């Protein structure tokens, strides 16, 4: 079981210190979320009962790839992934160049966590079609993999069409692609195109069993082995080593954690509510959970 640190809603100034602490504590991958702007969204947020987002205009959403580049400069083994990057809200070559550069500068420590997104408002402002986002992502992923080789690539598809060209810099090896989301379309995309799957919520054992059954069915349809896909999912239970071992037995290879979300009033009195608190609770989590795995 590998531990992925969920760093959504973290203030921008805390990321470098948090990356150092994550590496020190045995975290495999640090993740951060992707939003272009905050507004009075017309699109309902799909993960709340009211449709309202869980953040406001004061919440930081630093650019994913700039932030990963900065964190890579102060670490040496920690991996990084967006959870998830809304690639079809951008043009193909902006995505290709940003990911390739971050992967090259980090020494191949980037995983491309990608999804189709829910926020139509952001697609409107970036000039990308919201309604074709799934079909465009399906076409985009194989093309990105070709571009990241550094070889000359020519493509004539439904949504992307370009003559022979190449990009630089490129990483030394393939960038793993992890598809996010638990809709049938997302799970099929992960089974068909992904190196891994990232859940978009925290799951009970029963909920995860349902998702994994669908994933395995789709993997079989595409001629892939049941264990050919990495599985990263947040778990709806208090963190302890035995719980994580049970989920590992289900086929989960990585889990999302953010220990400061469970901070008590005593913790906050002892450490405050900023980076010091996050580092202290991450160190406790490493001692109580990661070390026992």
All structural domains of the chain: 2-292 (3.20.20.30)
List of the chain residues with pLDDT < 70 = none
For residue 164, the number of C-alpha atoms closer than 13 Å in the C-beta half-sphere is 2
Distance separating alpha carbons of residues 227 and 222, to the nearest angstrom: 13
- pTM of the model as a whole: 0.96
**What distance in Å separates the CA atoms of residue 46 and residue 201, rounded to the nearest whole number?**
11
The C-alpha atoms of residue 154 and residue 160 are separated, in whole angstroms, by 10
Q: How many residues are there in the chain?
A: 293
pLDDT in tens, 125-164: 999 999 999 999 999 999 999 999 999 999 999 999 999 9
Q: Compute the distance between CA of residue 92 and CA of residue 45 in angstroms, rounded to an integer.
A: 25
């Amino acid at each position: 079981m590998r531990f992925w640190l969920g760093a959504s809603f973290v203030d921008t100034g805390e990321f470098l210190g948090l990356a150092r602490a994550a590496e020190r504590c045995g975290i495999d991958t640090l993740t951060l979320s992707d939003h272009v702007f905050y507004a009075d969204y017309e699109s309902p947020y799909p993960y709340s009962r009211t449709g309202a987002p869980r953040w406001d205009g004061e919440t930081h959403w630093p650019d994913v790839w700039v932030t990963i580049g900065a964190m890579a400069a102060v670490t040496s083994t920690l991996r990084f992934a967006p959870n998830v990057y809304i690639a079809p809200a951008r043009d193909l070559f902006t995505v290709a160049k940003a990911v390739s550069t971050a992967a090259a500068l980090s020494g191949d420590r980037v995983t491309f966590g990608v999804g189709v997104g829910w926020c139509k408002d952001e697609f409107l402002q970036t000039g990308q079609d919201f309604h074709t986002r799934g079909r465009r992502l399906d076409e985009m992923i194989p093309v990105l993999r070709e571009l990241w080789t550094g070889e000359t690539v020519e493509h004539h598809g439904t949504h992307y069409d370009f003559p022979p060209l190449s990009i630089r810099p490129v990483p030394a090896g393939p960038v793993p692609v992890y598809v996010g989301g638990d809709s049938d379309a997302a799970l099929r995309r992960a089974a068909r195109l992904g190196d891994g799957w990232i859940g978009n919520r925290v799951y009970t054992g029963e909920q995860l069993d349902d998702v994994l059954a669908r994933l395995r069915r789709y993997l079989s349809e595409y001629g892939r082995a049941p264990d050919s896909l990495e599985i990263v999912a947040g778990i709806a239970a208090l963190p302890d080593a035995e719980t994580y071992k049970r989920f590992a037995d289900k086929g989960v290879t990585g889990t999302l954690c953010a220990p400061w979300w469970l901070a008590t009033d005593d913790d906050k009195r002892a450490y405050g509510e900023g980076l010091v608190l996050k580092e202290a609770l991450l160190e406790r989590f490493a001692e109580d959970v990661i070390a026992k795995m």
